[in-house]
A and B are shown apart, each in its own frame.
Chain A
Amino acid sequence: MSRAETVVGAAEVRVSRGPSPLWTLGLLRNEIGMTFRRRRTLVLLAVLALVPVLVGIAIRVQTEDGGARGGPAFISLVTNNGLFLVFTSLAATLPVFLPMALGVVAGDAIAGEAGAGTLRYLLVAPAGRTRLLLVKYASTLVFCLVATLVVATSALAVGALLFGLGEVTLLSGTTVPLAEGLLRALAVAGVVALSLIGVAALGLFVSTLTGSGIAAMAMTVGVVITLQILNTIPQLHAVQPYLFPHYWLSFADLLRDPVYWDDIRRNLGLQAVYALVFGSAAWARFTTRDITA
């Protein structure tokens, strides 16, 4: 009996000292650490890092026999300055590879935990449903940023190796020093990462709907691809400005002098709306759902 009292007493002392508000960040740190230690994440990042290598080699091979033959705006510029491989690679990965990788991570966020049964233990820990959702969204956003930086860094390295670096001639014709070019490349990577916050919220919402991680991943990627296709059908011109991929390639406007902000602003505004709408939907769904898995 006296033993019982000491145990309970000790527990109460601990509770009454009160948890520090910072402790709540422990789960976020754990989640980010877990995300980037998973082999799946590392494979996704490795594939993303490989894209600039392939693009760089392709351009190198193509330009060796007869020089640039038109092609997308960036490609002819890449041969003059390796830095442009960063923009080319981001433009190549943003429509498909980046959202797909993100769809895997975001779609699996809640559904994967539900499927493995670990969700119930996190919730009785108690992680708190809103807190867990915020942690999942935050770690997904960190993944967006890291994935974008992986593409950019890999592209910069490959570009420097194959084509060399130098002064940067912007799309508007102005020439700026390499340092400013690098700064603009960093800004481009930032905008690309922010372009993905809408997809991230969509993926998280889909993830709260099902108990199967695979189903959530497939559905998220499916929605992204469908919207991309809709975005190219001329008859749907009226709705296209409301589709989240519509302004994705506006990041190129950062390479003008002066920077042309309108479409970038529209892009970020649209992403914020998507993040808000799907974030709220995910919250409404997740905080009221019966956890039976």
Chain B
Amino acid sequence: MAPPSSNGEDGAAPGAPVIETHGLTKRYGSGPPAVDGLDLSVPPGSIFGFLGPNGSGKTTTIRMLMGLIEPTAGGARLLGEPMPGAARRVLPRVGALIEGPALYGFLTGRANLLRYDAADPTADPRTRAARVATALERVGLAAAAGKKARAYSLGMKQRLGLAAALLRPRELLVLDEPTNGLDPQGMREIRSLVRELAADGTTVFLSSHLLDEIEQVCTHAAVMSRGRLIAQGTVAELAAGARGRLAVTTPDTAEAARVLKEHGLTDLVVGEDRVTGELPPGPGGAGPEAVGAGGGPDPAGMGGGPDPADLNAALVAAGVRVRAFGAERASLEDVFVALTGEGFDVAG
């Protein structure tokens, strides 16, 4: 993933974070802060997953980044400039979808986009109609552009919201739950759109409560819980934090467990026809590049203990009949549970 060459006169230095916050805090009333001392750093060119259960402070953070609400303490920089102070210079270069789309039901889809574009004082009115048409095309709404927005389905509204974020070439896209309300086909389309935009050099900041979604598209991720940032880094680094488990499917569970224990596996769980265990940390550890963003079993994700091939040979040598053998890759969900010690539920 190549970082965009942002050599603009007022832009950030190349390689400088696209989003940067220092001690960003928002407190409503006297309760616990909604966002507490957030230090976020989003590298240019990344697809950055912003993860956390509902109520963990993701949307409040995004609203502070976009200058909609004033932080109680701390500050944020967007594209190298302070927010909300530089909003007029920065925001035209940022596309956003915040907490779902909001549309004028009595206007057509096209008229909605024309209005949002007119709201941007730096958008050229001479190219407005063409840019609106392109954006509608890009999200697959060209055919429904003349319909009143109140007749749109939730998925169509979501697409129109995305089109509004794509009215101009953007350096940063902030997408809050972009696949909400979409069917699986729509979700796939959005994911490929996000990848396409990132390939063009746009940094994408994607919030979601769907771990799976983040895992599929993101290169980096940050995890929020109860207003605090509990981890951030590349998806590979995060997944490496929670080691994967080795799973053996066999009718000879007792013997398999004995062999695996001999080879240093810990936390063995013996099921009816299945034994799983945690591989010991090896000398090298898992390289960050080892775990790709793609799915599927990934042996290197287990850490750098004994070679799984040797383990399998040992099992067979001991007369264990192996039906299936493989690594269960650590998912972000495992990471999340490991980090917070809790399930992925709404924070109280």
Contacts and interface: CB of A to CB of B under 8 A. Distances in A.
Interface of A: 1, 3-5, 7-8, 10-12, 14-16, 19, 23-24, 26-27, 29-30, 34, 38-39, 116-118, 120-128, 131-132, 288, 290-292
Nearest to B95: A124
Given A23-B121, A124-B68, A128-B88, A12 B116 contact: no
Main SS of chain B's interface residues?
A: loop
Given A4-B201, A117-B99, A23 B124 contact: yes
A82 B164 CA distance: 52
Interface in B1-22: 2, 4-6, 8-9
A124 B99 contact: no
A7 B200 contact: yes
Contacts, number: 135
B102 A19 contact: no
Interface centre among A125, A131, A292 (most CB of B within 10 A): A125
A126 B92 contact: yes
Nearest to A125: B119
Main SS of chain A's interface residues?
A: helix
Contacts of A8: 4-6, 8, 169, 171, 201
Given A8-B4, A121-B102, A125-B116, A34 B200 contact: no
Interface residues of B, number: 52
B268 to A, nearest CB: 47
- 9 shortest interchain CB distances as A-B pairs: A4-B201, A117-B102, A125-B119, A126-B91, A290-B69, A127-B119, A26-B118, A30-B118, A19-B122
Given A23-B121, A38-B106, A117-B99, A122 B199 contact: no
Nearest to B64: A290
B135 to A, nearest CB: 14
Contact of B102 (A12, A26, A116): A116
Contacts of A117: 99-100, 102
Interface in B45-96: 45, 63, 66-70, 87-88, 91-94, 96
B121 A7 contact: no
